[in-house]
Chains A and B, each alone.
Chain A
Amino acid sequence: TLQYDANSKLLDVPDASEDIEMNLTQINKLTQDLVGETNPNFTPQPRDESTAMIKKLFENGLKQLQQQKMAEALKSVNLAIEMAQRKRASWEAFAVQLQELQFMMKNRVDLCLVQGKFMDALQDLDFLQNTGLTTSDVFIRKTDSLMKLKQYEQARAEVERGLSLDPTNAKLRVLHIENTRRLAEYNG
């Protein structure tokens, strides 16, 4: 049974299954975005306001990176990403949102790696791969993270896949050899 709250304009189904719950969240988010939209003639064009805010936070992070303040830089980049998640409406062009997020995530990955947060980096890299980014630099970083986490079998799978998409990549080849050595040691 579908329930509608006229005040908050939100739908609800008590005891909903996971799939229905997901659908509801989507509809409600869309409703909230629409309610909050002031411009009656809105388009998929990304809102310049949001872009400016996100950019400011991100550039803050880059500045801190240049000053070698890694922890703060990571925080700023995280804020920028969060801002994008909150401010961007569901109808703003997907291609733009995706690229924006991927770009910021790539920087987050490098910041995590530099600070030894390998599991965080790995999850971000997984996200990048799942959302279609299969460039060699993703494979390089993922292999590196997996090796640091001692997951040598998975690292081998990653580096081999990276090499099959880019057989001449020198860095991948070096990682492959290094990983093979570590795997041999792991197996006695």
Chain B
Amino acid sequence: QSYDYDEASETWPFFILAVLCVVLVPLTAMQLWELVSGGKSDQTLNDQASILGEMSEKYASREILEFRAKSVAKKSKWLAKRNLFIIAGWTVVAYLIQYIGSSEGIQDAATLLFDPYALLDISASSTDREVRSAYRKLSVKFHPDKLSKDLSSEQRSVLEEQYVLITKAYKSLTDEITRENYLKYGHPDGPQATSHGIALPKFLVDSSASTLVILGYVALLGIVLPYFVSRWWSRTQSVTKKGIHVKSASYFSNRLFNFKPSQVVTLDLIVNWLSHAEEFKLMFPELSVETFETLLHDQINRKHSGNLENAKLRIVAKSNVLLFGLLDIATTFRNLEISTMTIDTLKAIVQATSISPYSQLLQLPNVNPESLTEGSVDDIRTLGKLFTYEDAKIGKILGIDDSTKLQETLSVASSIPHLKLIRAEFKVPGESVVTPQSTPHISLKVLVRSAKHKFFPPNMIPDEMCLDRDDFESMKDPFASTLEQPRLPQTFAPYFPGKRSGCWCALVVLQKDGKVIQTPMLIDRLSFENLNKDFDKRTVKNLEEEFKPEEWVIGNIKIPFSQPAPEEKGDFFFRVIVKSTEYFGPDLDFTLSMAVRD
């Protein structure tokens, strides 16, 4: 009924200290971790093919650079607030520790703690012999009969008390019953008086301040807490696992469910679906679905949207996560055409280039679209074909007169990564064949090459370069070796609102029915070192002599297989499609057979 309040200010500092530490320690740890790892990832971004990143910055329009700067500033503002809180929090902690240390009341309470080792003046790890010898020495000093006669009664009683304590200390370390008491209650005499109370000073609870405190609690428990919980709950409920709004996801699912196979899947179709996204409506409630569609087409056709330019940039930035969400749903519905067109749409938005037979060339900077159709007698559609011509001729084909611009365009064109398949197989870790009902994965060895590089047949890369590590670690986790590769560098995307590095999406299709069998695997780690090599197809004359396989870096891609291998023995055919989300051209598309044997 009646509580003791913290009159002497002994307990509330500990309470506040505990609460602060619970918040500050993980927050500080998180912040330090981000600082350390954030620095590291920037480092790898800088190592890899920085040409694309540099060019991307160079060719980006003023509005895009402003947009990027704004979003970086927003992020750092929040970080500054967090940092401020951490600094303020630790300052309060330091003050509290100092307060506790200097508070007499707390010190007094602390001295009531019974410490036998301190009383006997020995270390906590002393043996029984040392304990006994220490006791004998001290009892000689403090025994009432041994005390000097000159001491005052006060001094005497103090020393006698000390002697009692020393005896108790000795007993609590040696005598069974006393030791039990000490271990159980922290004192040899058994349970001491304990007090329970409220760790708050009385004035907060008893007087007029109490109404404020009650109001504070009511506000906290009745208003603030439910508000935050309901806001968090509705946020979680409204977003799917892939990070898109549930209404957008259900719209996409509905479109896929009602999809008629006679309908041709085009860029316009995907853009139309995209413009119905709930995220857009929430960002710009005053704009219509048709406006969103127009803005997306503006982005693809590199058209300025007037006073809706900023809206366009925000929508384009958001469409990245929406397209990945749609891709996930499309693969769940096993629809290959929509899956591939979704990735192509992302390319179109990232490069601001429409899907046409000439997309590979139109994604380059400084290209004059008219000259592509008129500039040359041969119909050139691919980067690979482009590099069969001399630089000057390329300038004519692309319609670039300025030599500096031509050099920049050529450096971008030769830095766009293309994947060349060297080896592909189904692998079961630890086995030499794929056995029935085993769990295989798809192991690809690829070469990241430039369109400028001369073609060479995959068998010119010796088998030794394509072997995986054969140790126990790699059998336990076959995918760990892919993580040793560097992250992808910045994409050349001067028309995209944010800096990005993108990825490759790997789709697996069952050849029997032509349908996708699992959700896409995203590949965001590959070495681009080969792109720096000057193995120009126009200058290499003798392939056998000039090609040195050991100078090339082999990329490692591992795609998990979502089902166990079939029960029956035989050959089963799968189509593997690896599409880039960033550039037109560097995709892989091949058939792989799974030989299931005993």
Contacts and interface: CB of A to CB of B under 8 A. Distances in A.
A160 B590 contact: yes
Interface in A141-155: 153
B384 A130 contact: no
A184 B511 contact: no
B63 interface: no
A19 B258 contact: yes
Main secondary structure of the interface of B (DSSP, over half): loop
A188 B384 contact: yes
B382 interface: yes
Interface stretch (A33-41, A95-103, A104-112, A162-170): A162-170
Contacts of B512: 164-165
Interface stretch (B8-16, B216-224, B385-393, B469-477): B385-393
Contacts of A184: 455
A111 to B, nearest CB: 23
Interface string B498-523: 00000000000001101000000000
B589 A153 contact: yes
A157 interface: yes
A188 B591 contact: no
B591 A163 contact: yes
B161 interface: no
B385 A188 contact: yes
A156 B575 CA distance: 11
A109 to B, nearest CB: 18
Contacts of B451: 188
A130 B261 contact: yes
Interface residues of A, number: 16
Nearest to B514: A161
Contacts of A157: 575, 589
Interface residues on B, range: 20 to 34
Given A165-B512, A167-B571, A188 B387 contact: yes
A-B complex: 5 closest residue pairs judged by Cβ atoms: A164-B573, A188-B384, A188-B385, A187-B384, A164-B511
Contacts of B381: 186
Given A153-B589, A186-B381, A188-B537, 8 more contacts: A130-B262, A160-B575, A160-B590, A164-B573, A165-B512, A184-B455, A185-B385, A187-B385
Contacts of A187: 382, 384-385
Nearest to B591: A160
Interface string B255-270: 0001001100000000
Contacts of A185: 385
B237 interface: no
A132 to B, nearest CB: 11
B536 to A, nearest CB: 12
B593 interface: yes
**A130, A165, A167, A187: residue with the most chain B Cβ atoms closer than 10 Å:** A187
B572 to A, nearest CB: 9
B432 to A, nearest CB: 23
Interface string B77-89: 0000000000000
Contacts of A19: 258
Interface of A: 19, 130, 153, 156-157, 160-161, 163-165, 167, 184-188
Contact of B575 (A153, A161, A167, A188): A161
A188 B589 contact: no
Main secondary structure of the interface of A (DSSP, over half): helix
Interface string B308-334: 000000000000000000000000000
**A156, A160, A161, A188: residue with the most chain B Cβ atoms closer than 10 Å:** A188
Given A186-B381, A187-B385, A188-B388, A161 B511 contact: yes
B362 to A, nearest CB: 17
Contacts of A165: 511-512, 573
A155 B409 CA distance: 31
B389 to A, nearest CB: 9
Contacts of B258: 19
Nearest to A176: B591
Interface in B364-381: 381
Interface string B563-597: 00000000101010000000000000111010000
B382 A186 contact: yes
Interface string B443-465: 00000000100010000000000
A164 B382 contact: no
**A153, A164, A185, A186: residue with the most chain B Cβ atoms closer than 10 Å:** A164
Contacts of B511: 160-161, 164-165
Contacts of A156: 589
A150 to B, nearest CB: 8
A160 B512 CA distance: 11
Nearest to B574: A164
29 contacts: A19-B258, A130-B261, A156-B589, A157-B575, A157-B589, A160-B511, A160-B590, A160-B591, A161-B511, A161-B514, A161-B575, A161-B591, A163-B591, A164-B512, A164-B573, A164-B591, A165-B511, A165-B512, A184-B455, A185-B385, A186-B382, A186-B384, A187-B382, A188-B382, A188-B385, A188-B386, A188-B387, A188-B388, A188-B537
Contacts of A160: 511, 575, 590-591
A161 B261 CA distance: 19
A160 B591 CA distance: 6
Nearest to B454: A188
Given A19-B258, A130-B262, A157-B575, A186 B385 contact: yes
A163 B573 CA distance: 9
Contacts of A167: 571
A121 B464 CA distance: 47
Given A19-B258, A188-B388, A164 B589 contact: no
B378 to A, nearest CB: 11
A167 B571 CA distance: 10
Contacts of B386: 188
Interface in B241-277: 258, 261-262
